[in-house]
Amino acid sequence: MVNEISIEQDIVKTIRGILGESPLLLHEPYFVGNEWLYLKECLDTRFVSSVGKFVDQFEKQLAEYTGSKYAIAVVNGTAALHIALKLSGVENDDEVIIPSLTFIATANAVSYCGAIPHFVDSEESHLGIDPIALREYLKSMTEFRDGKCINTQTGRVIRAIVPMHTFGHPSKLDELLALAKDFNLELIEDAAESLGSYYYGKHTGTFGKFGTLSFNGNKTITTGGGGALLTQDENLAKLAKHITTTAKLPHRWEYVHDQIGYNYRMPNINAALGCAQLESLPSFLKSKRDLYESYRRGFENLKNVELISEPRHCKSNYWLQTIKLSWEQKNLLDVRNRVLELTNDSGVMTRPVWRLLHSLKPFELCPSMPMVVAKKLEASLINIPSSAHLLPKDE
């Protein structure tokens, strides 16, 4: 070893310089508003479960905040995706295009419909599906039959595409919407990570047939566990509410269900937490942006490390702050692993991006396009401590 300070030491020093010496987790929830008050109301009134006012209130607040016509609260983000795909017409044996670089839930939800994920590459600037590479790929391997986009290699219908807004950075939605139109695909946004993120001034999750959100414990706001569907279509909104609540026809005492429904409803106690968290969301977003600015100044002069910034014409929620190791370096994966080890050994919690889904056992036989960029992103992206209110108070 030369006497030079290593990249991993540099990174630890930079983060410690900004955030001080206490242990740093990747992403912690904060309860500094009306959480106690609303939860107490649930307990006092005994409305903790499927009945109560907070679910309606949370849905209303969500729709208002995102500018979506309708919002339907459900039990988690995966369930929201499952129902969004199902109500977009994804059926048994269809294929659904999703990025390989996403959390497992995107692929699992496709599988719950009996459909097959078709994994595609990502691009560098937005970290989402690469619309240019995808267009070329689809041109080379699909044909239209009865207006449907057919994968000529498998004979299956490619029904839908699910862009995911990685770490809160909006995907290239204009290009992806155009592509979806040209290949006759339904577009559903996995906006689980992007509450508070905007593409050309419009909230993510409101562009596709559906958008889905997650309020898991590690997301920007949390309901414990929870999710939501966003849609602009009144009929789809009604249907989504109906089949996520066991498809029961309203009646004072009769149990009549008109189709197979799901028990995907969000309990009132979770929605109560959500209402309080939504009130805090603007302050969380501001803290996260301030944290990004501090990291940006800190990482500015580090060699071989780049802090990921929001894409042009986009406003990101900066859910998870991310550094990218320079692709010029030799043995990129080794460097990444050394950074992960030293940071975590030093009480600075960091995480690599997800293992590319097409390489995981449950999905290894699924169709996938060549992963040129996604592989490099996999070897070079590292999430660093990102909670709101991490910065010292007097900053």
Ligand X SMILES: *Cc1c(COP(=O)(O)O)cnc(C)c1O
Binding interface with ligand X (CB under 6 A): 76-78, 102-103, 105-106, 164, 190, 192-193, 214, 216, 227
CB of 57 or CB of 76, closer to ligand X: 76
CB of 186 or CB of 193, closer to ligand X: 193
Q: Which two tokens stand for residue 255?
A: 């149990």
Rounded distance between C-alpha atoms, residue 379 and residue 102, angstroms: 14
The CA dihedral of 128, 172, 78, 282, to the nearest 10 degrees, is: 110
Rounded distance between C-alpha atoms, residue 258 and residue 369, angstroms: 41
Q: Is 22 exposed, middle or buried (0-12, 13-18, 19+ CB in 10 A)?
A: exposed
Closest separation between CB of residue 12 and ligand X, Å? 26
Helix (H), strand (E) counts: the chain: 11, 16
Q: Are 126 and 171 in contact (CB under 8 A)?
A: yes
Q: Are 115 and 95 in contact (CB under 8 A)?
A: yes
CB of 24 or CB of 320, closer to ligand X: 320
CB of 205 or CB of 298, closer to ligand X: 205
Q: Are 149 and 126 in contact (CB under 8 A)?
A: no
Return the residue nearest ligand X (CB atom).
Answer: 77
Closest separation between CB of residue 102 and ligand X, Å? 5
Q: Are 89 and 210 in contact (CB under 8 A)?
A: no
Closest separation between CB of residue 34 and ligand X, Å? 23
Closest separation between CB of residue 362 and ligand X, Å? 16
CB of 186 or CB of 190, closer to ligand X: 190
For residue 232, the 8-state DSSP code is: S
Helix (H) or strand (E) holding 295: helix 268-299
CB of 63 or CB of 109, closer to ligand X: 109
Q: Which two tokens stand for residue 13?
A: 């020093």
Residue length, the chain? Answer: 395
Q: Which two tokens stand for residue 240?
A: 């989504």
Closest separation between CB of residue 148 and ligand X, Å? 27
Closest separation between CB of residue 344 and ligand X, Å? 21
Backbone phi, psi, residue 129, to 5°: -55, 135
CA angle 46, 263, 35 (to 5 degrees): 40
Does residue 265 sit in helix, strand or coil?
strand
Closest separation between CB of residue 320 and ligand X, Å? 9
CB of 102 or CB of 368, closer to ligand X: 102
Closest separation between CB of residue 81 and ligand X, Å? 6
CB of 14 or CB of 171, closer to ligand X: 171
Question: Cα separations (Å) of 70 from 63, 89, 374?
Answer: 6, 19, 34
CB of 7 or CB of 188, closer to ligand X: 188
Closest separation between CB of residue 193 and ligand X, Å? 5
